[in-house]
């Protein structure tokens, strides 16, 4: 499975080598994140979390990870809101069978890359789909890379102010035995002169 939601020609050209360098502390954060993402791409294990502001090269690094995967690796890149919507779509007379089939497809993919985690509308149905999928991947120790604008991660889905319904996910995203969190530079690459 090499499918994508939101995958573009520009993303096919995103590599570790063509990431624009920055100055000072921001460049150090970018080099660290790039290095961790490159290691992860070479040997995907556990979860990788790229967390930072808009335009900080998170999507670029997710694309670079996907672009170096060997043909034998089944991977799926999805924008979070599209993934949860796709899991909820039903096309036949048995919606539950459709859902379970789609859920298994995504649970079983070798490498899952989820972009814009936390930007989707956080409805009860979305929370249920997210929990079923990510809990299964966590328990099976399936490689999954995330990009999120929530940093620190405790702010994901509104944090404690929202009743902390997603505290389980924040805990797993920060599980030091299984997950690596990479803070991204506080720079919008779209505004950097090249």
Whole domain around residue 140: which residue ranges?
2-7+45-186
Flag whether 95 is in a domain. Answer: yes
Flag whether 90 is in a domain. Answer: yes
Flag whether 19 is in a domain. Answer: no
**In CATH, what number is assigned to the domain containing residue 115?**
3.40.50.300
How many other C-beta atoms can be found within 10 angstroms of the C-beta atom of residue 61? 28
pLDDT digits (tens, 9 = 90+) for 16-58: 999 877 777 778 888 999 999 999 999 999 999 999 999 999 9
Q: Burial, 54: exposed, middle or buried (Cβ in 10 Å; 0-12, 13-18, 19+)? A: exposed
Q: What is the pTM of this model?
A: 0.90
Tell me the CA distances in angstroms from 158 to 12, 137, 162, one per residue in order. 33, 23, 5
Flag whether 178 is in a domain. Answer: yes
Total domains, the chain:
1
Q: What is the dihedral of CA 88, 92, 96, 101, to 10 degrees?
A: -80
Flag whether 149 is in a domain. Answer: yes
What mean pLDDT is reported for the chain?
87
Flag whether 135 is in a domain. Answer: yes
Flag whether 156 is in a domain. Answer: yes
pLDDT digits (tens, 9 = 90+) for 58-105: 999 999 999 999 999 999 999 999 999 888 876 665 666 688 888 999
Sign of the torsion angle spanned by Cα atoms 188, 190, 193, 194: positive
Q: What residues contact residue 66 under an 8 Å CB cut-off, 6+ apart?
A: 4, 11, 75, 77, 111, 113
Residue owning tokens 């789609």: 102
φ, ψ at 68 (rounded to 5°): -100, 5
How much is the average pLDDT of 123-145?
94
Flag whether 24 is in a domain. Answer: no
């Amino acid at each position: 499975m090499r499918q994508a939601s939101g995958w573009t020609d520009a993303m096919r050209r995103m590599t570790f080598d063509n990431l624009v360098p920055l100055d000072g502390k921001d460049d150090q954060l970018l080099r660290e994140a790039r290095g961790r993402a490159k290691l992860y791409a070479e040997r995907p294990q556990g979860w990788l979390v790229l967390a930072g502001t808009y335009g900080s090269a998170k999507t670029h690094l997710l694309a670079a990870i996907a672009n170096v995967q060997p043909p034998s690796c089944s991977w799926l890149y999805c924008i979070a809101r599209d993934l949860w919507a796709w899991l909820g779509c039903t096309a036949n007379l048995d919606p539950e069978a459709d859902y379970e089939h789609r859920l298994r497809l995504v649970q079983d993919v070798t490498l899952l890359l989820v972009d814009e985690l936390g930007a989707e509308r956080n409805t009860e149905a979305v929370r249920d789909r997210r929990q079923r999928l990510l809990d299964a991947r966590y328990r099976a120790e399936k490689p999954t890379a995330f990009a999120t604008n929530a940093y620190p991660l405790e702010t994901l889905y509104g944090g404690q102010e929202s009743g902390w319904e997603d505290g389980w996910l924040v805990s797993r995203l920060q599980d030091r035995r299984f997950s690596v969190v990479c803070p991204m530079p506080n720079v919008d690459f779209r505004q950097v002169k090249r």
